[in-house]
Structures are given as structure tokens and as C-alpha cells.
Amino acid sequence: MNIVKLGMRDLPLFEGANLLRAVRELAGLSVTTPFREWAPLARICLTLIPRYTMVLPRRLLSLRHLVEDLETRGISGDIVECGSWNGGSAALMGLYGSRKVWVFDSFEGLPEPGENDGEWERKHYFKGWSQGDPAKVREAFRKLGVPTERFEIVKGWFDRTLPGAPIRSISLLHVDADWYESVKTVLETLYAKVERGGFVVLDDYGRFEGCRKAFDEFNRAREGGRLSLVKVDSSAYYFRRP
């Protein structure tokens, strides 16, 4: 077993590394972000990372800005997260908005990467990696002071849970599901409900081949390639629905 696989099997090791990355990123952000914005961000990040989220500070800050933009522009619709693990990124979006947050996850971890995912992913990841826990999701929301009536946890595989979910409209769709089939299912099932002016965030577009392929195919087939992505960091990208 190589060192990468060992780190992935041993979640505390992976979480420790994430905490170090987060502290390094926060130090970098302290130079470029006004202190009044940086200080609460640092506090929230250190509450959520590594126990409740794998999403690093720059991406959390971007999610905050997107939610605030929706509030300012008065774009209606719920926030939907597909791929929540222990709920940290979902709780942060709940904190900065006033709308309902849907938390979709198998809570059985990732499915096996498939033929449309990258070779590296197929070699190093395995079914069940990053298994979240609904109790920790509730804890994450509680820690940020978001009341229970503002969020709903839906447990199960996306192809079963998303089609029948009673969501009327979506202002922000956070797709954090790593693999081709998962991302494809989310986009094909939920994009139609995203409001014009609403956001779709692809947490893994820059990182995982399958996520990139699923979005690029969807963009060509559904919108003739006109959806243009904004880069957050080396992994996450987003677009506003035209």
C-alpha cells in the first residue's frame, strides 16, 4: 500500500493534513482579505475544519460570497448541496443565507470511481471513502447556530433521492460529489430547477477528470457550451445560470 492510499484509508491522517493546509491558506488570505472579513472566516474555518468539512478556506469564503450575492440580488430558491460528508460546507451556506439548505449524501461514502473517472482516482480511491455521518451534519449546523428547521438531510444515492425531492427552485447548487456519474446525475436532475441568476458550484472541476468531463458534456449538450466557469482555486469553479 503506498503512502497516498495509506493517508486516504486513515481519515485522521487525511484530516490532519487538511488542517495544516487550511492554516496555511488562512495565513495567505490574511494578507489579501480585510481583517473584518478574515477574522470571522478564520474562526468558522477552525470550527469546521477538519471534523466537519474537507472544503478549504478559500472555497468556503467563495461560497459565502455567492450566498451573500444571492441575498443582495434577491434571487429566490433553496440552497442544495449534493455531497456533504459531515455537513461543514452546507452549514456555512446556511449561516450566510436565510434560505433552506438541502443536504444530500449517501452517508455510505463515495461510490467506486468508474470508467469515465481518471486513472489516478481509480487507483487511489475506493468505494466507501469519506463516509459522512448525519449526526455530525446536525452538529455542524448547531455549532454555527443555524436552527434545525433551516436544513433538511436526505440520505441515499442521488439517482434515488434527487428525482423525487420536493424542491421547487434552487438558488445555489453545490456539487461536491467527485465522480463522473454522480456529477452527471446531479446536473441532469437538478439544473432545470436552478433559477436564472443562481449559481452552480463544481467543487472538483479542476481536480477530478470525471467531474470535468460530466460538466463539459452537460454544457455542450444542454447549453451549447455557453456556460463559462469562474475559477475559485485549483479545484473549485462556478458559473451563474444565464
Ligand X SMILES: C[S@@+](CC[C@H](N)C(=O)[O-])C[C@H]1O[C@@H](n2cnc3c(N)ncnc32)[C@H](O)[C@@H]1O
Contact positions with ligand X (CB under 6 A) in 170-209: 176-178, 182
If binding means CB under 6 A, how many residues of this protein chain bind ligand X?
21
By the rule CB under 6 A, 121 interacts with ligand X: no
Show the beta-strand stretches assigned E in 22-100.
Answer: 78-82
Write the Ramachandran bin of 145: left for phi over 0, alpha for psi from -120 to 50, otherwise beta. left
Choosing from 57, 77, 132, 210, the residue that interacts with ligand X (CB under 6 A) is 132
Toward ligand X, which CB reaches closer, 18 or 197? 18
- And the C-alpha cell for 169? 427552485
CB–CB of 168/199 below 8 Å? no
Write the Ramachandran bin of 224: left for phi over 0, alpha for psi from -120 to 50, otherwise beta. left
For 15, 76, 170, the CA distances from 142, given in Å and listed in that order, are 21, 24, 23
Query: Per-residue string for binding with ligand X, 7-36, x by CB under 6 A?
Result: ------------------------------
Toward ligand X, which CB reaches closer, 42 or 236? 236
CB of 165 to ligand X, least distance (A): 12
Say if residue 226 is exposed, middle or buried (CB neighbours under 10 Å; 0-12, 13-18, 19+): exposed
By the rule CB under 6 A, 235 interacts with ligand X: no
Look up residue 132 and give its DSSP letter: -
By the rule CB under 6 A, 118 interacts with ligand X: no
Piece of the chain touching ligand X by CB under 6 A; list 50-58, 66-74, 142-150, 190-198: 50-58
Toward ligand X, which CB reaches closer, 100 or 197? 100
Question: What gap in Å lies between CA 144 and CA 218, rounded to an integer?
Answer: 35
Piece of the chain touching ligand X by CB under 6 A; list 49-57, 66-74, 165-173, 224-232: 49-57
Would you give the distance in Å from CA 130 to the centre of its chain? 13
Instruction: Please report, as ranges, the residues that interact with ligand X according to CB under 6 A.
Output: 53-55, 83-85, 88-89, 105-106, 109-111, 130, 132, 157-158, 176-178, 182
